[in-house]
Amino acid sequence: MKRLLLLAFLATSSFAQNTVVTATIRSAADSSLYQNCSYTISLVSSTGQDISTSLVYVGSIPFNDPPVSGNCSAYGVMTASVMPNTAFTAPASPNPSGTQYNFNVCSQRPFPNGGTIPPQRCFSGIFTVSGMALDLSSQLSLLAPPLGSGGGGSGITQLTGPVTAGPGVGVQATTITPTGVTAGTYTNPTITVQPDGRISAAANGATSGVTSLNSLSGALTIACGTGLSCTTSGNTININLTGGVFTINSFTGCSSSLELGATITNPTCSATYSSTPTSAYIINSDNVDSPLILSSPFTSGTIVGSFSHSFATTTTFTLTASNGSTSPTATQSMTWNPRIFGGVGAAGATSTVTASGTTAVLSTGDALSSLGLGAETIGQTLGSYTPSSQNIYLLLLGGSHTFTDACNGFPFVVNSPTSVSFVNANGVTVSMYLYQSTNVLNYSSGCAFTPKVAS
């Protein structure tokens, strides 16, 4: 048995060939070289927890992978040999999904040469190791903090020129050499810019402005006409309407949405204004008591007469008001449209459909509710229904529709529509079409049946 385990371990070990990891570590911040640095490479879980002292598995063989330690060369080169992460199976606890290696690197602390001992810089990074060779130079150099002077590498210790700093290590304050230009705001300035981009001289220029307007030149006079006021502030001329802009603030009472055949008698229209007008009148496209001349204060008026239509149309009412300078307008409208219906009922309804107020009664005695005024449109949902061994009926204006169920997106199957001559509650005959669901439907729970016009 021991021989079998040894053979299995040797076979697994030979399969997991070590990876040679190399890196030349030079801080990306100041190019300082990590000469003779020390490093420790330890196995961690995918969450960063140290498991170098825990059992991992190479294949099915338990294996302990202790940390690898060493020193960089005088040129900051690290070389180490570790088993690739792809060879390991992580332990059950702390139950990571895989393994990685943590690379911890510290700079050398040389003895001072007539100064203080520079601080030691340490950093770490976690990487996955695989393959026969892996170069981590760029990754570790990006993580390496700057060493400054005396930390094992080279770096800037002093700035000279227009911007000065130091000498010294760490954070140094900078000083900009003054150019002699006075800080402030200059008008139409003349400036001199040095090669390094700094302004070395600045002076105010000649005053400029408008010297002519179109073909006019010299002193100009602004004349304000009737209803205007003109004022000046510095170089700004303000032109305003005297008393503000005259507007119609509201126009109400002459709008309605009606079923075909409905009648509106002697409607009263009302209006409000930004100020009292000098005159106002209302006209309508049916030419009933039109124009209606309003009396002061011009806020309301009754149009004597009736408005009714047996076909789909719109009557427009237009108010015109004037304050002597301007005459704004406002409009309202009355619209007449047929009504459409939907509901549930017993199967077998015929073309005989009668009106009862705003409902339509089928030959089966079942009533369909109003779905609103105006023709149905593509994309419109036509009610929500919960039938109980019943059919869904739709009485519409179009005779070639297809439908889907807005609840689930599936086709909503209906029979070929039946042509209906529907006489509405106002005695107007409307050509319509009665759609009946092909299937007798039962609602149990969840989303109700919701027919939607697809085409």
Query: How far apart, in whole angstroms, are the C-alpha atoms of residue 342 and residue 370?
Result: 7
In this predicted structure, the answer to whether residue 11 has a pLDDT above a threshold of 80 is no
Give per-residue pLDDT as tens, 179-192: 888 888 888 888 89
User: In the listed set 293, 317, 336, which residue is the last one of a domain according to the structure?
Assistant: 336
Residue ranges making up the domain that contains 10 = 2-143
User: In the listed set 312, 336, 360, which residue is the last one of a domain according to the structure?
Assistant: 336
Q: Please give the C-alpha separations between residue 191 and each of 205, 208, 343, in angstroms, as whole numbers.
A: 10, 17, 83
Give per-residue pLDDT as tens, 143-161: 999 886 544 444 456 777 7
Residue 191 in any domain: the answer is no
Whether residues 10 and 136 fall in one domain = yes
Whether residues 351 and 322 fall in one domain = no
In this predicted structure, the answer to whether residue 116 has a pLDDT above a threshold of 60 is no
Q: Please give the C-alpha separations between residue 403 and each of 63, 89, 339, 353, 447, in angstroms, as whole numbers.
A: 68, 58, 19, 22, 17
Q: How far apart are the first and last CA of the chain?
A: 79
* Angle (nearest 5°) at CA 167 between 166 and 170: 75
In this predicted structure, the answer to whether residue 208 has a pLDDT above a threshold of 90 is no
Whether residues 354 and 429 fall in one domain = yes
Whether residues 402 and 319 fall in one domain = no
Do the Cβ atoms of 401 and 454 come closer than 8 Å?
yes
In this predicted structure, the answer to whether residue 433 has a pLDDT above a threshold of 60 is yes
Q: What is the mean pLDDT of the chain?
A: 84
Q: Residue 391: how many CB atoms within 10 A of its CB?
A: 25
Q: Which two tokens stand for residue 366?
A: 């079942």
* Residue keyed to tokens 């010299």: 218
Query: How far apart, in whole angstroms, are the C-alpha atoms of residue 169 and residue 117?
Result: 12
Residue 124 in any domain: the answer is yes
Residue 347 in any domain: the answer is yes
Whether residues 375 and 391 fall in one domain = yes
Top pLDDT among 201 and 164 is at 201
pLDDT at 114 (0 to 100): 45
Whether residues 17 and 100 fall in one domain = yes
Whether residues 13 and 112 fall in one domain = yes
Report the CATH number at residue 322. 2.60.40.10
Beta bridge partners of 359: 356
* Residue keyed to tokens 């304000």: 224
Query: How far apart, in whole angstroms, are the C-alpha atoms of residue 217 and residue 109?
Result: 81
Q: Residue 175: how many CB atoms within 10 A of its CB?
A: 11
pLDDT at 2 (0 to 100): 37
pTM for this predicted structure: 0.49
Residue 192 in any domain: the answer is no
Do the Cβ atoms of 144 and 34 come closer than 8 Å?
yes
* Residue keyed to tokens 């911040």: 29
Give per-residue pLDDT as tens, 344-364: 999 999 999 999 999 999 999
Confidence of residue 13 (pLDDT cuts 50, 70, 90): very low
Query: How far apart, in whole angstroms, are the C-alpha atoms of residue 296 and residue 253?
Result: 18
Query: How far apart, in whole angstroms, are the C-alpha atoms of residue 78 and residue 34?
Result: 10
Report the CATH number at residue 36. 2.60.40.2190
User: In the listed set 336, 371, 402, which residue is the last one of a domain according to the structure?
Assistant: 336
Residue 231 in any domain: the answer is no
Residue 62 in any domain: the answer is yes
Do the Cβ atoms of 371 and 427 come closer than 8 Å?
no
Handedness of CA 85, 88, 93, 97 (dihedral sign): positive
* Total domains present in the chain: 3
HEC string of the chain?
CHHHHHHHHHHHHHHCCCEEEEEECECCCCCCECCCCEEEEEEEECCCCECCCCEEEECCEEEECCCEEEECCCCCEEEEEECCHHHEECCCCCCCCCEEEEEEEECCCCCCCCCCCCCCCEEEEEECCCCCEEECHHHHHHHCCCCCCCCCCCCCCCECCCEEECCCCCCCCEEECCCCCCCCCCCCCEEEECCCCCEEEEECCCCCCCCEECCEECCCCCCCCCCEEEEEECCEEEEEECCCCCCEEEEECCCEEEECCCEEECCEEEEEECCCCCEEEEEECCCCCCCEECCCCCCEEECCCEEECCCCEEEEEEEEEECCCCCCEEEEEEEEECEEEEEEECCCCCCCCEEECCEEECCCCCEEEEEEECCCCCCCECCCECCEEEEEEEEECCCCCCEEECCCCCECCECCCEEEEEECCCCCEEEEEEEEECCCEECCCCCCECEEECC
Give per-residue pLDDT as tens, 267-280: 999 999 999 999 99
Amino acid at 250: S
In this predicted structure, the answer to whether residue 262 has a pLDDT above a threshold of 60 is yes
Whether residues 7 and 137 fall in one domain = yes
Query: How far apart, in whole angstroms, are the C-alpha atoms of residue 164 and residue 228?
Result: 63
In this predicted structure, the answer to whether residue 123 has a pLDDT above a threshold of 60 is yes
Q: Please give the C-alpha separations between residue 60 and each of 5, 14, 53, 55, in angstroms, as whole numbers.
A: 10, 14, 18, 11
Whether residues 52 and 120 fall in one domain = yes
Do the Cβ atoms of 38 and 70 come closer than 8 Å?
yes
Give per-residue pLDDT as tens, 292-343: 999 999 999 999 999 999 999 999 999 999 998 899 999 999 999 999 999 9
Whether residues 6 and 137 fall in one domain = yes
